[in-house]
Chains A and B, each alone.
Chain A
Amino acid sequence: SSELTQDPAVSVALGQTVRITCQGDSLINYYASWYQQKPGQAPVLVISGKNNRPSGIPDRFSGSSSGNTASLTITGAQAEDEADYYCNSRDSSGTHWVFGGGTKLTV
């Protein structure tokens, strides 16, 4: 099985831009999806595929990828964006799924 590696914590000033990264061999073959989780709540999908935002997700959230690294960018971070963010993809076998360890974003 493969792993996805995220920085444990990232901070950003209000209104500034922040990038959260996710590294793993499986990302060469599969797009990462990104989830936001606030305390006591279930995860919410914010980005999937090449750069797809579900309905209701603000356009300040965007995704990108290069090689074995996927990135979630928040352009103009807001106080309500403070949360844990997890990346996810299938592993190289295609029959298992793996999550990154999560990044705690402080705004």
Chain B
Amino acid sequence: QVQLVESGGGVVQPGRSLRLSCAASGFTFSTYALHWVRQAPGKGLEWVAFISYDGGGQYYPDSVKGRFTISRDNSRNTLYLQMNSLRAEDTAVYYCARDYTLGSDNSFDPWGQGTLVTVSS
């Protein structure tokens, strides 16, 4: 079945870096765009990054632009999120999700189980 499994979360000091991974299986990875979405403790969902199926296009919200970089390795069926200059407000569970787009129909399906990133001194 289609599966996404995140890893790489942990506790990191403010200003430091962390790289998250998302291993995919059960579908043709190289033909799908992907997203990272985060959820701060007790808060709602926030979209963090998008990457096209071939890695040629990436988009970010202003809250992480210039600090986070999304990338992918289609030979390893793996998605990455490089997070630099981390701040306390980046503390959240980070989810990877597969993109589905058909015209004006856009959705995220499925989602991984998430990995917790805690930014604290």
Q: Mark B86-121, 1 if CB is under 8 A from A, else 0.
A: 000000000100001010111111111110000000
User: Chain A CB within 10 Å — which of B45, B47, B105 has the most?
Assistant: B45
Within 8 A of B (CB), among A32-66: 33, 35, 37, 42-45, 48-50, 52, 54
CB < 8 Å neighbour of B50 from A48, A86, A97, A102: A97
Interface residues on A, range: 20 to 34
Query: Which residues of chain A are near B104, meaning CB under 8 Å?
Result: 29-31, 49
Q: Is B54 an interface residue (CB 8 A)?
A: no
Cβ contact within 8 Å between B44 and A33: no
Cβ contact within 8 Å between B47 and A97: yes
State the B residues within 8 Å of A (CB): 35, 37, 44-47, 50, 59, 61-62, 95, 100, 102, 104-114
